[in-house]
Each structure stands twice: as structure tokens, then as C-alpha cells.
Amino acid sequence: MEVKEYRIENFCRRIYRTNKNNCLISGIFIFLFGFSSFTQAQTNSPEEKDNYKIGVGDVLKIQVLKPTELSQDGIRVSNEGTIRMPMLDGVIPAACLTEAELSSEITKRYKRFILNPQIYVTVKEFNAYPVSIIGAVNAPKTFQLQRPTRLFQLLNQQVNGPSLNAGQSIQIFRDLSVKQCRQEVIADPINSATNTSPQQEIISLSLPELMNGNETANPFVQAGDIVRVTEAELKQAFVIGNVKSAVTVNLKEPITLSRAIAMAGGFAPGAQTDKIKISRQSSDKPIIVSMKDKKGETPDDILLQPNDIVDVPGPKRSLLKDIIKGIIPTVMRVPGL
């Protein structure tokens, strides 16, 4: 603020001789603009909990301004979560620290050898927090968490949302042996269930609840999580017999008998529309349905169920015609006729 006030004062002195009012207005404007910028910077400063926590496998760049020979570029965090720096005895804990926290720790250790050391730490490669998302999504992938991320954000920003064949549930396979730096998880998500293994937890969540914005179904994902969007159970019915084209009908949405027959191209000539047979797994006997138009009556148009087999009978055969067809060739073969 002292620098801004000094600039304002010099600015006013330069224009004071020409117009006092302009000086006053300009000074007020610059002051307000500077104060607004300062306030905004304070408001937008990230909270400590949102800063990335360094983890095992991350690659760091550590810059030491004086002497620069101590700088390290491409130093990897060990499996124990530590690093080493020149001139310093022992290892330096790095895992679960932010860049600023690690800079402060290294600075404190170098103060024994260097006057007013200036240390800057940046993460060059993020390798510590892998999360995989598989199953019925548009772009399955494995990526590295760089900040706290909820399941909904992961699903929509990283894999372009669930695919058309997605089912009703999401499973999170969580490796409990992976060390976590933060505990930003929902303790008891709905429909959660754990298996008997002490090393793995399986969390089951409702996909519709998640997509509808239910926070209970939207936990933070953790390092090592494998997120699986289940596929919808395949539900089909079959139309055969005296139709123009036998078809397999997808029952992802409710389908009536008449619509299924329409999908098969309609009835073929001679179809017995009053004796359509539906074989259903839940019934021991076939269901006979009439789709024949009758005056004053509505055809039976029922909803199909998974694995229904719709069989449309063909033309009726006349017993008299069958007898005649059998007799005439025999008579024609009698000698003397």
C-alpha cells in the first residue's frame, strides 16, 4: 500500500499545477482500484486444505537461489515419502506436505549453513494419487488426482459421463493399505457395503442419486480407488412367427405388444391376430392375446416383459382342403381313369 500511495502522490504533483479537481478524482480512482485488487487477492487466495499434497512417486523441482548449486531438478519422492538434499544429513519428510510446507522445512534446515536461504519447491510430475474409472463410461481412463475431487466431478470431467448402457449403481473398490493424506470422505455413504477383506473396501452407490445431486452419494475419491459404473442388465423380448421380420426388441423402456409387432414390420398376410401366443418365464402356460380389431372392443395390448417370446401363428389350414389335396392325386393314379 505504501508503494501505491507514493505513486499516487507523484502523479498528483505532476498534474496539480494544471487541474486540482483532476488530481483529486484520479487519486480517489487509483486508491479504490488498488484497494479492490488487494481485497480480491485476499479473497481468492487458496485455502491450505485445497493445496496439493506431495506423495510417493511425485517428481519435484527444488530451486535454491543462493547457492544455485544446491538446486535439484527431477528428484523423486521415495516409497517412504522422503527426499534428500545436498549438505543435509538424513532424509527430509515430503509426503503429505504442500509445496510451501516442504519449502519451509528445507529452508529451516539450510539456515544452519546459509544466510537467509530462499527455497522454492514445485511438483513437475504427479504420480502419487492414481484413480481409475472403468465400466459403462464414455472414456475409461486412469489419471492422477491433483486436488480433492468428488465422484460427480470425476465422472463428468474426466470420462465424459456414463454411457448409454450404464446401469443403476457405481462401485468404488478402495485399497485400505494405501496411505491417505486427507480424510475428506463421507463416512457412511448410502447403500455402502464392505467385504470381509481388511485390505479392501467396496462402496456401492446409486447412479441416479449421484446424477440428481444427492451429496450423500457423492464422496471424495481417494488415491488407489477403482471406480466402476455397472452396465444395465440386458432386457429383451423376441417376436417370431407370421410377421414380416422376426426381431429382438430392447426393453430398456416400456414396450407394448402392438409396438413390438410394428417393430417387426407388422403382421404378414394370413396371420392369426386373435391367437398370438406369448411364452413368459413366470408363467407355466402360454398367454394367448388377441390383437384382432373387433367392433366395440379394444385389442389386448399388454406390456412385454424380459425374455418374452411373441409367436404370431400363420394362416389357418382347412381340413377339407387337405383331404381333397390328398384324394385327387390318388384318384388320378387309378388305372382306367
Three-state secondary-structure class, residue 112 = coil
Identical fold between 130-230 and 236-312: yes
Quickly list H helices, the chain: 2-16, 20-44, 99-110, 151-157, 207-211, 257-263, 319-332
Query: What is the CATH architecture of 130-230?
Result: Roll (3.10)
Three-state secondary-structure class, residue 203 = strand
Q: What is the rounded distance in angstroms from the CA atom of residue 134 to the CA atom of residue 193? A: 20
**Could you tell me the three cell numbers for 151?**
465422484
pLDDT of residue 181: 78
So where are the chain's domains?
2-45, 50-125, 130-230, 236-312
Check if the beta carbon of residue 279 is closer than 8 Å to that of residue 311.
Answer: yes
Q: What is the rounded distance in angstroms from the CA atom of residue 195 to the CA atom of residue 214? A: 24
Q: In sequence order, which residues have a C-beta less than 8 Å from that of residue 234 and are 6 or more positions away?
A: none
pLDDT of residue 295: 61
Contacts for 25-33 with beta carbons within 8 Å, 24 or more apart?
30/4, 31/4
pLDDT of residue 4: 46
The topology (CATH level 3) of 50-125 is: wza like fold (3.30.1950)
pLDDT of residue 298: 59
Q: What is the rounded distance in angstroms from the CA atom of residue 321 to the CA atom of residue 54? A: 89
Check if the beta carbon of residue 151 is closer than 8 Å to that of residue 245.
Answer: no
Query: What is the CATH architecture of 236-312?
Result: Roll (3.10)
CA atoms 113, 90, 63, 181: torsion sign = negative
pLDDT of residue 21: 52
Pairing state between β 226-231 and 236-241:
unpaired
pLDDT tens string, the chain, 337 residues long: the values are: 444 444 445 544 554 454 555 544 445 444 444 434 433 333 333 333 457 899 999 999 999 988 889 999 999 999 999 999 999 989 999 999 999 999 999 999 999 989 899 999 999 999 999 999 999 999 999 999 988 899 999 999 999 999 988 989 999 999 887 777 754 433 344 334 444 445 788 999 999 999 999 999 999 999 999 999 998 888 899 999 999 999 999 887 899 999 999 999 999 998 998 889 999 988 888 999 988 876 655 567 889 999 999 999 988 655 455 555 555 555 455 555 5
CA atoms 302, 303, 309, 311: torsion sign = positive
